[in-house]
Structure 1
Amino acid sequence: MHFEYSEKVQDLLARLQAFMAEHVYPAEATYYQQLQEDRWGEPPIMEALKQKARDAGLWNLFLPDEKYGAGLNNLEYAPLAEEMGRAIFASEVFNCSAPDTGNMEVLAQYGSEQQKKQWMEPLLRGEIRSAFAMTEPRVASSDATNIETSIVRDGDDYVINGHKFYISGLMNKRCDIMIVMGKTDPDNPNRHQQQSQILVPTKTPGVKIQRPMTVFGYDDAPEGHAEVVFSNVRVPAENLILGEGRGFEIAQGRLGPGRIHHCMRLIGQAQRALEMMAARAEQRTVFGRPMSKQGSVREDIAKSACEIEQARLLTLKAADKMDRHGNKAARDLIAMIKIVAPQMACTVIDRAIQIHGAAGLGQDFHLAQAYSYARTIRLADGPDQVHMMQLGRNLAAYFDTLEKAEA
């Protein structure tokens, strides 16, 4: 792979970095202050930032189809995702935040023309927000074939019954649509053809939001993570995406790019934590000399820089292979980055917290919230153990076949 970005990407990255410096970082304190006034609404400063981003041509950068977005592939988008990831709310400023990105990708790739017009176009314009509902409290959802939510055909409708939780984005007042994964054919002998995905407007009768779930005590407003019950929720049959039994196929198409986005955003968080750690070590004096003179502090800074660069290069390699050979061919590299990047971010951010002392735990720095976010991604889009299980299985089979062929 080539490590030099095209002029187009370099220009976008330079403009994005300038925008972050001029508009996003100075707005962080105001954003969180306004959020206290309406936890599930959109802080006024967010809409102002979005308009500035639209005017600057920094909008929908994630979509590879130029009809909808910037026309960037995974490798080209990766450094932009890293830059946006440095501030937890920044991706939304550019209409590049999860789960909206994944939902728009699903609709762009698999949606009908009606579904695109009704839901994707308002999402592209940033007029509404969305959620993706898969995880359930009663089953181990790390194995998605376990999900129990039923999607049953009844004439011209589907009727949905089930219980979901940690549904990111659903608490937001502007969340108008969910993509719900459930079973249309629970008795199919192929466990990966039992599931389907269907569009459910959040205001549909029978959709009952029970409560917001917290992560390490954070409610992650204004998106939040909802616990929701579906009680005889009826939606038109045309809301089904692609067809019955195609839920896993859709999920696999969604998750490859999504994992690149998650990992690069985490690398952005870790890079910012490293910079904060290094600056803090220079500025604080302990036992009569700057912290940066302490050997253990220098080691933490050095190890963090190495680990961030390793994760960055591995993620870029995965993105490049996806672009050149497809998601399936890159599945082992995608598993590797999902194992490596969240753990790396947790480790680096934890070191930064330690070097900041008690202040690192509080609200004056964003490190505690950043750690919560990084720790969440060790579970989101599949827990570490699932990726290690699949990667180990694939590698064992590959090298066994290789050895037999050489014998």
Structure 2
Amino acid sequence: MNFEYSDKVKELIVQVRDFIDNEVVPAEPTYEEQLAKNPWETPPVLDQLKEKAKAKGLWNLFLPREHGDFTAGLTNLEYAPLAELMGRHHIASEAFNCAAPDTGNMEVLAKYGNAQQQEQWLKPLLEGKIRSAFAMTEPEVASSDATNIETSITRDGDDYLINGRKFYISGAMRKSCEIMIVMGKTDPDNPNRHQQQSQILVPTNTPGVTVKRAMQVLGSVDAPEGHAEVIFENVRVPKENMILGEGRGFEIAQGRLGPGRIHHCMRLIGASQRALELMCKRANERVVFGQPMIKHGSVREDIAKSACEIEQARLLTLKAADAMDRFGNKEAKDLIAMIKVIAPNMALRVIDRAMQIHGAVGLSQDTPLAGFFAYARTLRLADGPDQVHMMQLGRNLAKQLG
């Protein structure tokens, strides 16, 4: 594996870093002020950032090069350092149109959508004009096993009828969310449990779609994104909204989640690195018991351990990204599972140390640490719990090595 980035990527790293430093960071106070006034509206300053990023060509950097005209032409490995930079600031990913869940949904439509679906929904998503949601998780079943999903998708003439209840549907609270990809069962009696599910496009303004409430995440509604509970009652959409075909839902989900998982890990590396830098700054500046904090052995150890753990996770992230590029997402699944377990747990440890060194302010809104911590803790569940990744990884390794 070659760790030396091309001149193109080196230049993009400089451009992305400069844009974040000169445009995103100065806009953060305004973003928070505007968000407080209209929690589910995209703050206007963020739309302005998106236009600036688009004008500079720093746009849709996440989409792999096989998608042709839709993409900046980067590999997963090339995108990794850019996503890490974005992960250092809460609003940076969206400023570059590289924020979940849109990234995963755009990949689904680019990879599996037909021409009409791409024109109607992928194009405005790529342009950053609308937002989207991915509706899979349900409150009544263990959704970490996607074959449990109970929402029904029933053919009715030239339409499909959808009935079910979803929750923690990221992005569905936002007023600019216009489309959901909904996973449900079209063939619940199929003996092959992995061919029972399908994925279908449901505009959020379709009659029968009710956004019931915002689910909290560690006490926060996480505006403007939000994580909604959504009810589908006899929701009718045309048959043309089916993605790829009936019974292909599990296949689509697996294709979607691989890149999504590693993108989260890339961003977590950036959040952890920033936490480490804040930790070092605090330790150098703060005086406790008559001397700078950095003079205390336990503080030095926390900094050293954090740096070691971040670098370990960074290298594994890059190895997984490289394997995805060279062998495909399916062949890289074990490495993706490894980093999906390693990165959030590493981030929680590093961020927790940074919070501890900051004292009470580390729990407040005056640093990004509390938000980073909530994000990292969420990712021990989002896109699959640790236990599921380890169960499947252990099974695969036992088969390969036993």
Q: Structures share a fold, TM > 0.5?
A: yes
Cα distance in 1, alignment partners of residues 33 and 277 from structure 2: 25
Report the secondary structure of 1:2's partner residue.
coil
- Which residue number in structure 2 is paired with residue 23 of structure 1? 23
Residue 23 of structure 1 and its aligned partner are, at CA, apart by 0.9
Residue-by-residue CA offset, 1:142-200 (whole Å, 9 max, x unaligned): 11111100000000000000000000000000000000000000000000000000000
Q: What are the equivalent positions in structure 2 for 1:3-14 lying under 5 Å apart?
A: 3-14=3-14
- Which residue number in structure 2 is paired with residue 405 of structure 1? none
Report the secondary structure of 2:236's partner residue.
strand
Cα distance in 1, alignment partners of residues 246 and 68 from structure 2: 30
TM-score normalised by length of structure 2: 0.99
Cα distance in 2, alignment partners of residues 351 and 34 from structure 1: 31
Residue 297 of structure 1 and its aligned partner are, at CA, apart by 0.5
Cα distance in 2, alignment partners of residues 125 and 157 from structure 1: 29
Cα distance in 2, alignment partners of residues 209 and 259 from structure 1: 26
Cα distance in 2, alignment partners of residues 277 and 66 from structure 1: 42
Cα distance in 1, alignment partners of residues 283 and 34 from structure 2: 32
Residue 44 of structure 1 and its aligned partner are, at CA, apart by 1.4
Cα distance in 2, alignment partners of residues 89 and 211 from structure 1: 23
Report how many residues are paired. Answer: 400
RMSD: 0.7
Q: What are the equivalent positions in structure 2 for 1:119-158 lying under 5 Å apart?
A: 119-158=121-160
Cα distance in 1, alignment partners of residues 81 and 135 from structure 2: 28
| Percent identity of equivalent pairs | 73
Report the secondary structure of 1:210's partner residue.
strand
- Which residue number in structure 1 is paired with residue 305 of structure 2? 303
Report the secondary structure of 2:69's partner residue.
coil
Q: Does 1:47 align with 2:47?
A: yes
Residue-by-residue CA offset, 1:336-394 (whole Å, 9 max, x unaligned): 00000011111111111000000001111111111001100110000000000011111
- Which residue number in structure 2 is paired with residue 404 of structure 1? none
- Which residue number in structure 1 is paired with residue 275 of structure 2? 273
Cα distance in 2, alignment partners of residues 66 and 283 from structure 1: 49
Q: Does 1:379 align with 2:396?
A: no
Report the secondary structure of 2:326's partner residue.
helix
Report the secondary structure of 1:67's partner residue.
helix
Q: What are the equivalent positions in structure 2 for 1:205-224 lying under 5 Å apart?
A: 205-224=207-226
Q: What are the equivalent positions in structure 2 for 1:282-293 lying under 5 Å apart?
A: 282-293=284-295
Residue 66 of structure 1 and its aligned partner are, at CA, apart by 3.8
Cα distance in 1, alignment partners of residues 11 and 366 from structure 2: 33
Q: What are the equivalent positions in structure 2 for 1:334-349 lying under 5 Å apart?
A: 334-349=336-351
Cα distance in 2, alignment partners of residues 17 and 262 from structure 1: 19
Cα distance in 1, alignment partners of residues 6 and 155 from structure 2: 49
Cα distance in 2, alignment partners of residues 80 and 129 from structure 1: 22
Structure 2 unaligned spans of 5+: none
- Which residue number in structure 2 is paired with residue 180 of structure 1? 182
Q: What are the equivalent positions in structure 2 for 1:160-179 lying under 5 Å apart?
A: 160-179=162-181
* Candidates 288, 294, 297, aligned match of 2:296: 294
Cα distance in 1, alignment partners of residues 269 and 108 from structure 2: 25
Residue 308 of structure 1 and its aligned partner are, at CA, apart by 0.4
- Which residue number in structure 2 is paired with residue 403 of structure 1? none
Cα distance in 2, alignment partners of residues 90 and 215 from structure 1: 21
- Which residue number in structure 2 is paired with residue 36 of structure 1? 36
Cα distance in 2, alignment partners of residues 27 and 52 from structure 1: 12
